Amino acid sequence: MGPLSPNTLIVPCYNESARLDVEALAAFAARDDVRLIVVDDGSEDDTRAVLESLRARVPTHITVLAMPRNGGKGAAVRLGLQHALASGAAYVGYFDADLATPLAKVLRLRDVMDARGVAVVLGSRVQRLGADIVRRPLRHYAGRVFATAAALSLGVAVYDTQCGAKLFRVNPTLRAALAAPFVSRWAFDVELLGRLVHGLGNAPGLGVAQCVEVPLEQWR
């Protein structure tokens, strides 16, 4: 068996200089199976400088992209994913800059993807016994209302569309899904999942069977 193809992960950043954990991200990026693309979404603080210092720590595994103005998380993620695809990545995904999902858990998505032979794996913040999922009650219940509406609009029984931990196997459907900008700045996850499941343009949809949710063990 040959070496494991690296996971190219996108980290969208907007005014994150005060809370970016440079040490944790540098250690994570130093792994042989990880490449990071960090995208500065037109930050107004010194996020760009912090990201450049991060890149200098592991220059072979970290790429810094900068948007000329703030376009929203969806635009930043799309830019990073398109760059990853153009670079020849086979597995791409994204997670939040605040590391709400522990970095080690992000790679668990790849284990599930390979074990089940699917193309899309979504992290899911399911509050259950034995899991350490911490969310403010108001955000939790507002999220449940949104997720239910999203599932109905997509026609897909998805529990958590907005969790910032997702991984995709690169294929023509993913490329087509990223060809057009997202309409929403923040609910882009719903748009992307809909494009992947149902298809966009001449690219056929993957169908529900190629998408799975993985309950996270920890999220804060």
Mind listing the pLDDT tens digit for each residue in 40-54?
999 999 999 999 999
**Mean pLDDT (whole number) for 113-126:** 89
pLDDT, tens digit, 9 for 90 and up, residues 195-211 = 999 888 788 999 989 99
96 vs 132, residue with greater confidence: 96
Average pLDDT over residues 179-194: 89
DSSP notation for 108-158: HHHHHHHHHT-SEEEEE----TT-EE---HHHHHHHHHHHHHHHHHHTS--
Greater pLDDT, 65 or 104: 65
CB 124 within 8 A of CB 160: yes
Query: Of 19-28, 97-106, 140-149, which range is least confident?
Result: 140-149
User: What number of CA atoms fall less than 13 Å from residue 124's CA on the CB side?
Assistant: 17
Give the pLDDT of residue 3.
47
Residue 141 has a pLDDT of 45
The pLDDT tens digits of the residues spanning 52-81 come to 999 999 999 999 999 999 999 999 999 999
| Confidence at 128, pLDDT banded by 50, 70, 90 | low
- Looking at per-residue pLDDT, the higher value among 3 and 69 belongs to 69
pLDDT given for residue 26 in this prediction: 96
Burial of 152 (0-12, 13-18, 19+ CB in 10 A): exposed
Percent of the chain with pLDDT over 70: 81
Average pLDDT over residues 159-163: 72
Instruction: Tell me the pLDDT band of 134, cut-offs 50, 70 and 90.
Output: low
pLDDT value of residue 22? 95
Length of the chain: 220
Q: List, in order, residues 6 or more apart from 52 with CB less than 8 Å away.
A: 64
Rg of the chain's alpha carbons, rounded to an integer?
17
When pLDDT is averaged across residues 73-101 and rounded to a whole number, the result is 93
* Average pLDDT of the chain to the nearest whole number: 85
